[in-house]
């Protein structure tokens, strides 16, 4: 065991918030230690097993749809393209930190042995390091529900599925959330027979009925099968398939079973109890609005703190911590307003703010602008790219004309939603969006016509 070495800052985990803080502090000449347990996770979840590789597969699935190559060949090509991309980004992310003279990278498993002391197991070597400023950035791991048989050889997480080089002929997806839907739609596009099972009785229950119905219609037209309001009792293995047994007697046969019921904060075996760092009920590191843990000088950023599991939220986490390190410390999580989300099915479903149901339940007097994409004359972009499916729905406060929320299920919605979110944060009215001058032909100009229906 080596003698403890002290650093100006220690970051545990290479996710978005942590790596950005590490690069910033090292760029100021501070001694920074970045600890990452897996070389395959340099750069964090997003570029290695999350946003980037899954969206690369989505893109490849649609690019290859017109190819005459057999489905397994198209799929293997997509996996190789995805692997090349993640490898490229992993290298760039390594350099982002390691290129600084005052930054040190240590590959190994970190455990707290005191409030400001960490033990790192790197192979047979154990290193002890200390710092008065430590940032926990260990991310999240897939949740595995207590269903018998989920340890079988044909049961996979999203991480494992997108690394397999053989296209499953039959895929059963347990979970109809964002990850489940994105991968279900992608593998169907590659040619798999896909069935999505979820205990909820309606797809996307957090969305308004009309939006959820539009999404389901498109996905079913693509060939997805949904079994909603269904509970998985167990998964069994036969000689050549997995058998997914449902309550009520139905059985689904699959080459692969994807468990996509969410992710939980990765706090196992971090030694947090030795440091006196408190956890919340969901296993997340408990933080306040400044992302401070129960121990002075220790922060938690990204998925591990139990906040929204988005890379861009982790990036905003780094701003909050940075403001305490070099600013006036005023920035908090409560400053976040109108944070958008996108589920990358095709077309993508983006949303920000309140649904119509939420607004009415909150007692708001609202106006609703809603139009199907194929009925919007002033949106030739959808016809140019050959996808006029979906709808745009905007919820507006009737008295102030301010946008309360929007659901955008259309081509380019992942971009339009950022404009709507900015308008909400800046107090831009629906009428100003309606009368905005937007480029042509673009998807944004649909707002001219949709908001004119108010």
- Going by the annotation, the residues of the binding site for FAD are 55, 303
Distance separating alpha carbons of residues 368 and 353, to the nearest angstrom: 14
- Between the alpha carbon of residue 228 and those of residues 173, 174, 216, 348, 383, the distances in Å are 12, 10, 11, 21, 32
Exactly one of 62, 116, 318, 440 is catalytic; name it.
Answer: 440
Which residue carries 């296209």 as its tokens? 167
E strand or H helix at 319: helix 311-326
Distance separating alpha carbons of residues 446 and 188, to the nearest angstrom: 29
Distance separating alpha carbons of residues 219 and 189, to the nearest angstrom: 11
Please give the DSSP secondary-structure letter assigned to residue 288.
-
Q: How far is CA 355 from the centre of its chain?
A: 20
- Between the alpha carbon of residue 19 and those of residues 11, 22, 289, the distances in Å are 8, 5, 21
- Between the alpha carbon of residue 57 and those of residues 141, 254, 345, 370, 450, the distances in Å are 21, 21, 11, 31, 32
Short-list 282, 281, 414, CA closest to 352 = 414
User: Which tokens is 372 given?
Assistant: 């199907």
Distance separating alpha carbons of residues 265 and 309, to the nearest angstrom: 9
Residues that constitute the known binding site for NAD(+): 175-182, 262
Q: Alpha-carbon torsion 104, 292, 418, 266, what sign?
A: positive
Short-list 319, 19, 9, CA closest to 139 = 19
Task: List phi, psi (to 5°) of 132.
Answer: -80, -10
Which residue carries 């037209």 as its tokens? 221
Task: List phi, psi (to 5°) of 38.
Answer: -135, 130
Q: How far is CA 282 from the centre of its chain?
A: 18
Q: Quick check: is 440 catalytic?
A: yes
Distance separating alpha carbons of residues 84 and 79, to the nearest angstrom: 9
Which residue carries 């992310």 as its tokens? 93
Short-list 78, 76, 83, 73, CA closest to 61 = 78
How would you list the strands of the sheet with 251-254, edge to edge? Answer: 232-237, 242-246, 251-254
Which residue carries 């996307």 as its tokens? 204
Residues that constitute the known binding site: 55, 175-182, 262, 303
Question: How many C-beta atoms surround the C-beta of residue 130 within 10 A?
Answer: 17
The catalytic residue positions are 440
């Amino acid at each position: 065991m080596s003698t403890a070495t002290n650093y100006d800052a220690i970051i545990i985990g290479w996710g978005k918030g942590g790596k950005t803080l590490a690069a910033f502090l090292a760029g100021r000449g501070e001694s920074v230690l970045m600890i990452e347990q897996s070389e395959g996770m340099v750069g964090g979840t997003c570029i290695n097993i999350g946003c980037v590789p899954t969206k690369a597969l989505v893109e490849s699935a649609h690019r290859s749809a017109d190819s005459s190559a057999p489905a397994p060949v198209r799929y293997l090509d997509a996996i190789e393209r995805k692997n090349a991309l993640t490898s490229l980004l992993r290298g760039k992310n390594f350099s982002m930190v390691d290129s600084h003279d005052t930054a040190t990278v240590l590959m190994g498993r970190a455990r707290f042995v005191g409030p400001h002391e960490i033990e790192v197991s790197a192979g047979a070597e154990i290193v002890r390091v200390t710092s008065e400023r430590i940032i926990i950035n260990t991310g999240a791991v897939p949740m595995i529900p207590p269903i018998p048989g989920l340890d079988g050889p044909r049961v996979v997480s999203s991480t494992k599925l997108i690394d397999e080089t053989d296209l499953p002929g039959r895929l059963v997806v347990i979970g109809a959330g964002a990850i489940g839907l994105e991968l279900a739609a992608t593998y169907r596009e590659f040619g798999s027979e896909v069935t999505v099972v979820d205990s909820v009785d309606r797809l996307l229950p957090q969305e308004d009925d009309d939006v959820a119905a539009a999404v389901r219609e498109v996905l079913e037209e693509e060939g997805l099968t949904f079994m909603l309001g269904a509970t998985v009792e167990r998964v069994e293995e036969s000689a050549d398939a997995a058998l997914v047994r449902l309550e009520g007697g139905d059985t689904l046969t699959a080459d692969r079973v994807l468990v996509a019921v969410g992710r939980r904060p990765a706090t196992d075996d971090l030694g947090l109890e030795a440091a006196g760092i408190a956890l919340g009920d969901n296993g997340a590191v408990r933080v306040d609005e400044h992302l401070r843990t129960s121990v002075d000088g220790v922060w938690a950023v990204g998925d591990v703190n139990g906040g929204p599991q988005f890379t861009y939220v982790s990036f905003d986490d780094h701003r909050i911590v940075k403001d305490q390190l070099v600013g006036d410390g005023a920035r908090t999580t409560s400053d976040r307003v109108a944070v958008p989300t996108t589920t990358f099915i095709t077309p993508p479903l983006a949303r920000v703010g309140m649904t119509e149901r939420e607004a009415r339940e909150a007692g708001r007097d609202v106006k609703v602008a809603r139009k199907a994409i194929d009925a919007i004359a002033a949106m030739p972009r959808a016809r140019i790219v050959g996808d006029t499916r979906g709808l745009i729905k905007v919820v507006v406060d009737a008295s102030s004309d301010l946008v309360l929320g929007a659901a955008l299920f259309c081509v380019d919605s992942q971009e339009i939603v950022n404009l709507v979110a900015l308008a909400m944060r800046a107090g831009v009215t629906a009428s100003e969006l309606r009368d905005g001058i937007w480029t042509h032909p673009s998807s944004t100009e649909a707002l001219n016509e949709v908001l004119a229906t108010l």
